[in-house]
Amino acid sequence: MAEEQSGLEERIIIKDQHTKEIDLVNRDPKHINEDVVKVDFEDVIAEPVGTYSFDGVWKTSYTTFTVSKYWCYRLLSAILGIPLAVIWGFLFALISFCHIWAVVPCIKSYVIEIQCISRIYSLCIHTFCDPLFEALAKICGGIRVALRKEV
C-alpha cells in the first residue's frame, strides 16, 4: 500500500515537472528581454522644439503606433508562436542530446587519455630537464652582483 502511494506521488511529481503552472502576469521572470524590446513611441518618434505637428496628428500617431504595435505582435505570435516554439524546443533538445551523448563523453575520454600522456611527459621532464636546471642553478648560484654609486 505504501509502495503504491509512493509510486503515485512519483508519477505526479514527474507529470508536474512537464506541465507546471506558468505565470500569466509576469511573462519574463528572469528579465531576458529587459533592454531589448521595450520600444515605446517616444523611443522612436520625437519632434524637436519648433517643428511640432498638429496636436491631433501627434495624438493620432501615438495611438496608431501603440495599437498597431500591440496587435501586430499579437497576430504574429498567434500565427508563428507555436511553430517557432516547436522549432526552438527541437533545437534545444538537439543541443542537449549532443551535449549529453557526444560532448561530455568526448571530454571524459580526452581527460582519461591525456592523464596517461601527462604522466609520460612529467617523467620525461623530471628525467631530463630537472638535472639540467639544477646544474645551471649551481653554476649561476655563485654569481654576485654589487651595485655602487659613483660620485
Closest CA to 39 of 60, 78, 70: 70
pTM: 0.56
Taking only the tens place, the pLDDT of each residue in 73-113 is 999 999 999 999 999 999 999 999 999 999 999 999 999 99
CA–CA separation, 87 and 81 (whole Å) = 10
Sole residue written with cell 617523467? 123
Query: What one-character DSSP code corresponds to residue 35?
Result: T
Question: DSSP letter at 53?
Answer: -
Separation between Cα atoms, residue 41 and residue 64, nearest integer Å: 10
Q: Model confidence over 122-144: pLDDT tens digits?
A: 999 999 999 999 999 999 988 88
Q: 41 with 65: CB under 8 angstroms? A: yes
